[in-house]
């Protein structure tokens, strides 16, 4: 089986009948062997079939606006050399998909969606603001030594709850450490660059999960 | 070249250089397409969702296009005349499916939908005594090996027609072949599989 999956463009070309010769037969050979690509191909195909004559469901204005802001924040990020040092990529979606998934799999209640994040970056320091259901948190990631960082978490002034909020740093399902945020801030020291999640809860009730990754981004963008 | 393709490219190269206006134009131009693709993919895969899910996935797709200095956007070529819209549509579907898959949500939809080659085994097994004596699992494995020995087009046909249960007219349309041609492929593939299976099970 052809191990490398065809590019999005190759799939689009195949779906819309622009491939011939070896490109076409190679794509067909791959699709017949790769469940992942076949699935994507079939969805795209059905999407095209449905789009004929069917009114497109327009994206709500605020959704488009949010995407514009997000994309423009990426531009200003990539224009700032200091960001090269350290970067936290937020995977807000993971939390959302998990919300989608949990009720399906275990019949549990969906968690509150996480909204609003603001990134202020200085040299080697990333500052984030996350708003969960009733709490507003500020998370600061500071690179300490090579491949490690301190993470500070605090409740911001606007937060409804000031006491009794617990934050747990998790890697996969494993809890690395867990603290009540009763002081000015909670400090997680020398955390190796990796994928993590913060679980926020109050009195045992989960308020939200924040998935993130700390990673070094290298100089010399491609 | 198609004028709109040229425009696509011009817009894209502006985005890649970090032009804020161009980026806004691109997002606005494809926002509906992305939104619709997200919704369609979730519906197609039987995943329940909220407007917030649509928004998050929509934004994630645009983020993925622009993050790391537009790494994803830079992959678009338009070599065979693929429009930016067609390309973004596939990107969007892949992003949604990946996220579904990563979280294991898909397993449910998949299992409900699939009839893994059972019909095919039966079809080949008709009039074939050795097969009926075999365990089902063994049968499937044999059929699977047989499929691997077929040419790519026949393999894809079998995946779509038997494995996915797509009607033959749709398979023909999907593979851009005529319906009679699809029937020809079907008969040819089944015949080849039968002879493969009988030669292997002797
Ligand atoms: Zn593939």
Q: Does residue B112 belong to any structural domain of this protein?
A: no
Supply A216's token pair: 């070094």
Domain of B152: which CATH number? 1.20.140.160
Are residues B181 and B137 part of one domain? yes
Q: Which residues contact A156 (CB under 8 A, 6 or more apart)?
A: A129, A136, A137, A138
Are residues B92 and B141 part of one domain? no
Are residues B185 and B126 part of one domain? yes
Taking alpha carbons only, the member of A85, A80, A114 closest to residue A97 is A114
Of A66, A71, A92, the CB nearest to B23: A71
Q: Which residues contact B174 (CB under 8 A, 6 or more apart)?
A: A42, A45, B160, B166
Radius of gyration of chain B (CA): 22
Task: Count Cα neighbours of B82 within 13 Å in the Cβ-side half-sphere.
Answer: 26
Are residues B12 and B89 part of one domain? yes
CA distance A73 to A79: 10
Instruction: Tell me if chain A has a CB within 8 Å of the CB of B145.
Output: no
- Do A8 and B81 lie within an 8 Å CB cutoff? no
Asked whether the beta carbons of B187 and B158 are under 8 A apart, the reply is no
Are residues B9 and B92 part of one domain? yes
Q: Which residues in B lie closer than 8 A to residue A67 (C-beta atoms)?
A: 27, 31, 58-59, 62
User: B174 pLDDT exceeds 70?
Assistant: yes
CA B44 to chain centre: 12
Q: Average pLDDT for residues A33-51, to the nearest whole number? A: 89
Distance (angstroms) between ligand 1 centre and the Cα of A7 equals 9
Q: Does residue B109 belong to any structural domain of this protein?
A: no
Instruction: Tell me if chain A has a CB within 8 Å of the CB of B16.
Output: no
Q: Does residue B110 belong to any structural domain of this protein?
A: no
Extract long-range pairs of B106-113: CB within 8 Å, 24+ residues apart. Answer: B106/B45, B108/A104, B108/A105, B108/B46, B109/B45, B109/B46, B109/B47, B112/B46, B113/B165
- Do B101 and A40 lie within an 8 Å CB cutoff? no
State the best of A6, A16, A56, A63 to mutate against chain B, taking most chain B CBs within 10 Å.
A63
Quick one: pLDDT at residue A220?
Answer: 30
Report the gap between the CA of B51 and the closest CA in chain A (Å): 10
Q: Enter the pTM of the model.
A: 0.56
Domain span including residue B152: 118-201
Quick one: pLDDT at residue B190?
Answer: 82
Q: Which residues contact B32 (CB under 8 A, 6 or more apart)?
A: A56, A57, A58, A59
Report the gap between the CA of B166 and the closest CA in chain A (Å): 10
Are residues B80 and B124 part of one domain? no
Q: Does residue B37 belong to any structural domain of this protein?
A: yes
Q: Does residue B85 belong to any structural domain of this protein?
A: yes
Q: Which residues in A lie closer than 8 A to residue B45 (C-beta atoms)?
A: 43
Are residues B131 and B98 part of one domain? no
- Do A47 and B108 lie within an 8 Å CB cutoff? no
Q: Average pLDDT for residues A73-89, to the nearest whole number? A: 50
Distances (CA, A) of B1 to B22, B29, B75: 21, 21, 19
Q: Does residue B113 belong to any structural domain of this protein?
A: no
CA distance A24 to A27: 5
User: A99 pLDDT exceeds 70?
Assistant: no
- Do A75 and B40 lie within an 8 Å CB cutoff? no
Q: Identify the H or E element spanning A192.
A: strand A186-192
- Determine which of A18-22, A146-150, B27-31, B117-121 has the lowest per-residue pLDDT on average: B117-121
CA distance B166 to B155: 14
More confident residue, B59 or A131: B59
As for the ipTM of the complex, it is 0.72
Are residues B94 and B176 part of one domain? no
Q: Which domains does chain A have, with CATH numbers?
A: 1-57 (no CATH), 58-110 (no CATH), 115-213 (2.60.40)
Last residue of a domain, one of B71, B103, B135: B103
CA distance B188 to B191: 5
Instruction: Tell me if chain A has a CB within 8 Å of the CB of B104.
Output: yes
Q: How confident is the model at residue A158 (pLDDT cuts 50, 70, 90)?
A: low
Are residues B10 and B73 part of one domain? yes
DSSP 8-state secondary structure symbol assigned to residue B160: I
Are residues B96 and B132 part of one domain? no
Mean pLDDT of chain B: 80
Supply A201's token pair: 């809860």
Q: Does residue B139 belong to any structural domain of this protein?
A: yes
Are residues B197 and B139 part of one domain? yes
- Per the listing, tokens 């059905």 go with A46
Q: Does residue B25 belong to any structural domain of this protein?
A: yes
Choose the most confident range, by mean pLDDT, from A21-30, A45-54, A194-203, A207-216: A21-30
Domain of B89: which CATH number? 1.10.1740.10
Of A25, A66, A97, the CB nearest to B152: A25
* Three-state secondary structure call for residue B129: helix
User: A80 pLDDT exceeds 80?
Assistant: no
Note the pLDDT tens digit of each residue in B132-170: 445 556 666 777 777 777 887 888 888 788 776 778 888
Q: How confident is the model at residue B61 (pLDDT cuts 50, 70, 90)?
A: very high
Quick one: pLDDT at residue B107?
Answer: 39
Terminal-to-terminal C-alpha distance of chain A: 30
Are residues B10 and B33 part of one domain? yes
Last residue of a domain, one of B49, B70, B103: B103
Structural domain tally of chain B?
Answer: 2
């Amino acid at each position: 089986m052809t191990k490398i999956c065809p590019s999005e463009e190759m799939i689009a070309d195949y779906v819309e009948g622009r491939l011939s010769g070896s490109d076409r037969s190679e794509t067909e050979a791959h699709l017949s062997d790769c469940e992942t690509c076949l699935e994507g191909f079939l969805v795209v195909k059905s999407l095209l079939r449905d789009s004929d004559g069917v009114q497109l469901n327009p994206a709500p204005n605020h959704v488009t606006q949010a995407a514009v802001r997000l994309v423009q924040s990426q531009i200003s990020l990539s224009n700032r050399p200091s960001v090269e040092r350290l970067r936290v990529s937020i995977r807000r979606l993971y939390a959302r998909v998990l919300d989608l998934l949990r009720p399906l799999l275990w019949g549990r209640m969906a968690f509150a969606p996480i909204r609003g994040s603001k990134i202020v970056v200085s040299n080697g320091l990333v500052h984030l603001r996350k708003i969960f259901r009733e709490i507003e948190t500020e998370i600061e990631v500071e690179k300490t030594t090579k491949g490690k960082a301190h993470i500070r978490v605090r409740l911001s002034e606007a937060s409804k709850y000031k006491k009794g909020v617990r934050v747990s740093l998790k890697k996969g399902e494993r809890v690395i450490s867990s603290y009540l945020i009763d002081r000015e801030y909670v400090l997680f020291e020398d955390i190796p660059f990796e994928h993590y999640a913060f679980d926020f809860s109050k009195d045992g009730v989960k308020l939200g999960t924040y998935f993130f990754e700390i990673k070094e981004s290298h100089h010399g963008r491609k | 070249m198609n004028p709109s393709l040229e425009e696509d490219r011009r817009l894209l190269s502006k985005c890649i250089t970090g032009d804020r206006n161009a980026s806004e134009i691109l997002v606005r131009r494809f926002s509906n397409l992305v939104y619709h693709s997200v919704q369609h993919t979730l519906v197609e895969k039987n995943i329940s969702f909220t407007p917030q899910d649509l928004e998050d996935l929509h934004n994630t797709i645009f983020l993925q296009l622009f993050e790391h200095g537009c790494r994803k956007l830079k992959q678009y070529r338009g070599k065979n005349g693929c429009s930016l819209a067609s390309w973004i549509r596939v990107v969007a579907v892949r992003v949604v499916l990946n996220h579904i898959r990563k979280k294991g949500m898909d397993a449910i939809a998949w299992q409900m939908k699939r009839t893994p080659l059972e019909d095919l085994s039966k079809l080949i097994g008709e009039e074939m005594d050795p097969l009926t004596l075999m365990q089902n699992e063994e049968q499937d494995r044999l059929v699977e090996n047989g499929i691997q020995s077929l040419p790519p087009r026949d393999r894809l046909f079998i995946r779509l027609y038997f494995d996915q249960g797509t009607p033959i007219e749709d398979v023909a349309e999907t593979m851009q072949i005529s319906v009679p041609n699809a029937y020809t492929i079907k008969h040819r593939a089944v015949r080849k599989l039968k002879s493969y299976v009988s030669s292997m099970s002797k």
